[in-house]
A and B are shown apart, each in its own frame.
Chain A
Amino acid sequence: MSIAEFFIYLFAFGIFLYSVTLVSFYILIGFNSIGATRKYLHKNDFTDYRILAASPHAPTVSILAPAYNEGATIVDNVRSLLSLYYNRLELVVINDGSKDDSLQRLIDAYELEKVDFYVNSRIPTKEVRGVYKTKHPAYNKLVVVDKENGGKADALNVGINIASNDYIICIDADCILEQDAILKMVKPFMEEQDAKVIASGGVIRIANSCEVTDGRITKVQLPENYWACMQALEYIRAFLLGRMAWARLDGLLLISGAFGAFDKEIAIQCGGYNVHTVGEDMELVVRMRRYMCELGVPYKVTYIPDPLCWTEAPDSAKILMRQRNRWTRGTIETLRLHKTMFLNPRYDLLGVVSYPYWFFFEMMAPLVEFIGLVVFFIMVFMGMINWHMFIIFLVFIILFGYVNSIFAIYMEVTSYNQYNKRKEIRRLVLAALSEPFLFHPFVVWSAIRGYIDYFRKSKNWGEMTRKGFSKRPETKPAE
């Protein structure tokens, strides 16, 4: 065996080992998600959340909704958020230096007045230009903050500084929340026993093609657009399988920035959102967990499988690529910032399982696949491929991917069954079948672009043009 052959053989064996470990993790995740989802559904089968809505003993909650150039939809979005079913609620809308008329629209619609407000800047942020409130009794839960543009993380930090309540729920202003979303998100914090619940995540669903009336989803439909449909499948897999399972194993590292609840005091003690990363949502969860581990205080991060938050997914390859590029950079930045946790038993399961899983199978996966492809072509060129074995391997891996996706669809149908038409399930299955040939290579390539941008030190958030639920253009803050 020549040296070149030896290295290539070593590489091939590494890839095989990698695949086997990944497959084992997916099986573990699958089984755990069944247990976690079943328990949650049984547990809350006849829970009466209305008790919490009106109780004076319920915990106080502040919703933080950062907005940038969302003038076209901001008034409706705020109205929708104000109608959420929860008494002890405060809605903090942070206008992150929008260049459009977002602020003026809010002032006009909700009869806002600038008030004297002492901002206790426990987390350093860009300057707050003003705080607005209204005397209108119907909107007394609303606080609008106008600040200099500093990006989403900075806007959320201002929200944390301003929030007067014990728990914060960070959302994207353009998301649609279910009426009982706050009640369901708050319940896990109230169920804590030996371990303090520091954060709770909720499932995000794709709202493309859904019918929306008065800021509410009135009819759920699978997205017509291929890219959005693929993301619907991906979200089912990620949220219903991945995050539920990781939450059950107490190893959850990511709560989506579009909808997550946190213990405010812990978030502040950790320094709030990191403004130097584009993956601020994951970074905060990792930092909070790390902080609790280092303090030696028992804690928990929980997850709710109910579809509570609906968002519009990118429906063009260009926008999707930007999003995946940013997610990759966010993951690399977060894992790098907390590299001390890697295989560190001090952080328990987080250090020895969750972090390595994210490192090897979330962060490194696109790289491994890409390098694998390059090596494959080299081997073809050198005539080193055993085509028989190659085809068997390929079919094995593709089929396992299919099993995983079909299992996710099965879980969706047997639990929440949001897509309840046979036609929709057929489309989801077809989407799953097409994934290895179209969507997956695209996602891998986007991630590789993310790697390149990361090494170029790009901090671009990436413009996220969205069509809106009803003809509404919207942009996310850019650097």
Chain B
Amino acid sequence: MNNQQYIDPEALIIFIYIFGGLMVCMILLTFIFLRARKKKWMIKKQLDEIFDNWLGEWILEDLNEDTQLSIPPTLVDTPGNAYSRQYAVDQLINTKKNLIGIAGQNTVWLYEKLGLKKISLDNFHSRQWFLKAKGIYELYMMEQKDMQDELFPYTNSSNEYVRTEAQTAILAFEGFEGLRFFNTLTHPITNWQQIKLMEQLRPLDPPGIFEDMPNWLQSSNPMVVQFALKLAGEYQQFQVLDCVYKCLGSEHPAIREQAIIALVRMGDETSASAIIERYNNETKNNKQTILRSLYHVASTNELPFLLEVYETGDGDTKLLAARAIAHIGPAGMERLAAKGQEQPEPYEQIYLHIKSEIAR
């Protein structure tokens, strides 16, 4: 049988040569890369030693303008030292992450004295997003506050990674005041970034009142509203309580959920009834959030509602309602016990479950 009339064997032979050539090239490249990596590793190991000794010498010193810094030749600003200087930036950042006080400040001083900011600026000015993001990261980790105006526009960059690093940078430079970027933010802010920002703010002294909070709570960007609600709850922003209540009626379930959590954290006497009012119209997830929240704020006033949910809800709902009922006090536990006796399946097991949880 002759396939040759349909498939040109010559063409296949050309492909065979191409594949063979590709294969050999890739094997060679793999070994070259491996060799380069090993070489880099050796250099890194040497650098580690030099850098550690050098850093150890300076990190705890009282460094000031008069200090005469001895710079190892490998860290001097020459074109051949690009790798070792980038390495020095990375190491200083790692060191700073683990140090506070004078030692932490000294890393910044050394960064500046070694002229390493130039490397970060080169990264920042790169057209490649990951280098730009890295540059911003280096600049804020090394407290280069003079960059804040230049970085600010990037807090609303269309590139997610550049944007998030710029937002982190502005917060690092300005603390709570840096949150002003929410006024102009039109892009999403992921939960990951929200956590990152919340954790970044945690050690700082908060202002009594967040002036821009009402604007953020009415932002057209749902993720800004979500984050603002987190802040409102965490930092007890009672002045925006009305706005938080309004958020209970948002079209976005995630905003409503955050509003429920914020209301409970802010602990208004009407919070419990307000969230109960929402219960029937909520998504399953938000219903569960309401029940979890009621665990913290419910009193005997909420007992009828909780008992109703306890009887009518599905298994998960029953368990959450039972927890909230039990947390009200002995009266709640008595009701759970009574229901367990009246209708053992499933209430007796739920009662015993809750009892066991409390005992632990």
- Which chain A residues have a beta carbon within 8 Å of chain B's beta carbons? 5, 8-9, 12-13, 16, 42-43, 45-46, 48, 51-52, 55, 57-59, 115-118, 120-122, 133, 135, 187, 190-193, 265, 379, 384-386, 388-389, 392-393, 395-396, 399-400, 402-403, 406-407, 409-410, 413-414, 417, 420, 422, 425, 429
Contact = CB atoms under 8 A, between A and B. Distances in A.
Given A9-B1, A392-B16, A400-B19, A420 B34 contact: yes
Interface in B244-297: 284-285
| Majority secondary structure of chain A interface residues (helix, strand, loop or mixed) | helix
A242 B161 CA distance: 26
A115 B176 CA distance: 46
B1 A384 contact: yes
A115 B315 CA distance: 18
B192 A187 contact: yes
B360 interface: yes
Contacts of B360: 115, 133, 135
Given A45-B134, A389-B7, A402 B23 contact: yes
Contact of A193 (B6, B97, B137, B188): B188
Contacts of B314: 120, 122
A417 B30 CA distance: 11
A113 to B, nearest CB: 9
Nearest to A5: B1
Interface of B: 1-4, 6-7, 9, 12-13, 15-16, 19-20, 22-23, 26-27, 29-31, 33-34, 37-38, 93, 97, 129-130, 134, 137, 161, 188, 190-192, 194-196, 198-199, 230, 284-285, 314-316, 318-319, 346, 349-350, 352-353, 355-356, 360
Contacts of A187: 192
B6 A386 contact: no
26 contacts: A8-B1, A9-B1, A13-B3, A42-B129, A48-B97, A51-B199, A57-B194, A57-B195, A57-B199, A116-B353, A117-B349, A118-B315, A118-B353, A122-B316, A133-B360, A135-B360, A190-B191, A386-B2, A393-B12, A399-B23, A403-B23, A406-B23, A406-B26, A406-B27, A420-B34, A420-B37
Contacts of A12: 1, 3
A272 to B, nearest CB: 14
Contacts of B315: 118, 120-122
Contacts of A57: 194-195, 198-199, 230
B200 to A, nearest CB: 8
Contact of A386 (B4, B19, B130, B230): B4
A453 to B, nearest CB: 35
Contacts of A425: 30-31, 34
A413 B1 contact: no
Given A190-B195, A386-B3, A118 B349 contact: yes
A13 B6 contact: yes
Contact of A51 (B23, B196, B285, B318): B196
B19 A392 contact: no
A42 B355 CA distance: 50
A118 B319 contact: yes
B26 A407 contact: yes
Contacts of B130: 42-43, 45
Nearest to B41: A420
Contacts of A407: 26
A299 to B, nearest CB: 15
B1 A386 contact: yes
Given A16-B3, A392-B13, A417-B34, 15 more contacts: A16-B7, A58-B195, A118-B349, A118-B350, A120-B316, A120-B319, A190-B190, A389-B4, A396-B16, A403-B26, A406-B23, A407-B26, A410-B30, A413-B33, A422-B31
Nearest to A9: B1
A403 B19 contact: yes
Nearest to B316: A120
B29 A410 contact: yes
A190 B353 contact: no
A60 B23 CA distance: 46
A396 B19 contact: yes
Contacts of A385: 1
**Which of B191, B315, B346 neighbours the largest number of chain A CB atoms within 10 Å of its CB?**
B191
A422 B30 CA distance: 10
A414 B33 contact: yes
Contacts of A399: 16, 19-20, 23
B12 A392 contact: yes
Contacts of B12: 392-393, 396
A5 to B, nearest CB: 6
B189 to A, nearest CB: 9
Contacts of A409: 26, 30
Nearest to A118: B353
Contacts of B1: 5, 8-9, 12, 379, 384-386
Given A9-B1, A117-B353, A406-B27, A389 B34 contact: no
